[in-house]
């Protein structure tokens, strides 16, 4: 019997609620989600691993994929960079009676070739695209980079440093602005898949009304829409280390493997409350916000026409 293949994809983008949606989907009895949330298989051809920032590269290399695949693949892992098809399909070997099989690689929206690669392998796949106000998304991405010691200084300084990178790409830099230029990225999926196979969801919708938004997604996937996941746990919220020692802990490769990546999600969240803070975070000033609004305005107008959703709040 052949290994089942995924039949839907949660295609990005970074800091737009994909982690929450991954767990809401994973809880549904009719849905099987890849135990590695982000395998990044279909975007591998657009990535240059040799150009990854040192810390990202070190973390990627610290994960022993073959050892993971030899054992029980039910342990949840946030990301890996899988390049071989035979390895990738092993993520779905434990599918039982679930009718929907998916994964949630945030690079699939950015990667120029991801839509075509998915279509070449699985032309009937359904695509869920989650988008967030690009100004807010960029700043949330910056906070994540501060937490992970991938950025320092002010938001303006981080934007300038990122903009100075030649030939930006995944892992090489943050792409705070490039990642938020959604129109052309979404267009690739409309050019590749029938419109009926694509669902665009806004982060604002998920945040304001998670129950109805998740029900909409369940209906799109043809699974029981009456199922209610646990909305009480906040997934991948912005936070910073409570002190230097906790910052060193979260960014220590050995400790991450020993503790953070081995405990269940329900244990992770209470640990975060102890060792990290969600208050007193940096805020985006009006000058930074206005500059980004001007940068994204034209793209937002184009996107609004493409997805037929009111994005006027993003323009204010």
pTM as predicted: 0.88
Number of domain units in the chain: 1
Q: Is 252 inside any structural domain?
A: no
Q: Is 257 inside any structural domain?
A: no
Which range of residues forms the domain containing residue 35? 8-238+281-310
Note if the bond before 241 is cis, omega within 30 degrees: no
Distance, in Å, from the CA atom of 308 to the CA atom of 179, rounded to the nearest integer, reads: 20
Below-50 pLDDT ranges, the chain: 253-254
CATH number of the domain enclosing 145: 3.40.50.300
Q: Is 244 inside any structural domain?
A: no
Q: For 99-115, what is each residue's pLDDT tens digit?
A: 999 999 999 999 999 99
Residue 253 is predicted with a pLDDT of 46
Residue 149 is predicted with a pLDDT of 85
Q: Is 247 inside any structural domain?
A: no
Q: Is 243 inside any structural domain?
A: no
Residue 304 is predicted with a pLDDT of 97
Residue 272 is predicted with a pLDDT of 59
Are the beta carbons of 278 and 239 closer than 8 angstroms?
A: yes
Q: Is 288 inside any structural domain?
A: yes
Residue 101 is predicted with a pLDDT of 98
Q: Is 35 inside any structural domain?
A: yes
Residue 195 is predicted with a pLDDT of 97
Residue 206 is predicted with a pLDDT of 95
Q: Is 180 inside any structural domain?
A: yes
- Beta-bridged to residue 198, according to DSSP, are 127
């Amino acid at each position: 019997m052949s290994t089942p293949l995924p039949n839907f994809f949660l295609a990005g983008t970074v800091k737009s609620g994909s982690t929450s949606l991954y767990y809401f989907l994973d809880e549904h009895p009719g849905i099987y989600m890849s135990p590695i949330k982000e395998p990044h298989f279909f975007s591998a051809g657009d990535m240059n691993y040799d150009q990854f920032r040192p810390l990202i590269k070190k973390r990627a290399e610290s994960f022993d994929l073959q050892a993971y695949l030899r054992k029980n693949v039910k342990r949840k892992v946030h990301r890996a960079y899988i390049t071989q098809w035979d390895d990738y399909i092993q993520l779905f070997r434990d599918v039982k009676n679930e009718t929907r099989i998916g994964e949630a690689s945030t690079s699939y929206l950015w990667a120029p070739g991801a839509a075509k690669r998915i279509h070449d392998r699985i032309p009937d796949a359904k695509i869920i695209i989650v988008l967030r106000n690009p100004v807010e998304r960029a700043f949330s991405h910056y906070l994540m980079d501060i937490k992970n010691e991938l950025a320092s200084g002010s938001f303006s300084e981080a934007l300038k440093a990122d903009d100075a990178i030649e030939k930006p790409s995944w892992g090489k830099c943050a792409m705070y602005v490039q990642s938020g230029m959604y129109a052309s990225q979404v267009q690739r999926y409309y050019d590749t898949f029938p419109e009926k196979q694509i669902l665009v969801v806004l982060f604002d919708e998920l945040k304001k009304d998670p129950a109805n938004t998740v029900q909409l997604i369940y209906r799109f996937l043809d699974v029981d829409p009456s199922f209610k996941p646990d909305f009480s746990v906040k997934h991948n919220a912005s936070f910073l280390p409570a002190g230097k020692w906790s910052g060193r802990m979260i960014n220590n490769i050995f400790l991450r493997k020993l503790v953070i990546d081995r405990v269940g999600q329900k244990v992770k969240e209470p640990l975060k409350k102890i060792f990290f803070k969600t208050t007193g975070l940096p805020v985006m000033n009006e000058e930074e916000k206005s500059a980004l609004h001007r940068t994204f305005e034209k793209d937002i107008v184009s996107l609004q026409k493409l997805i037929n959703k009111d994005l006027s709040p993003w323009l204010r």
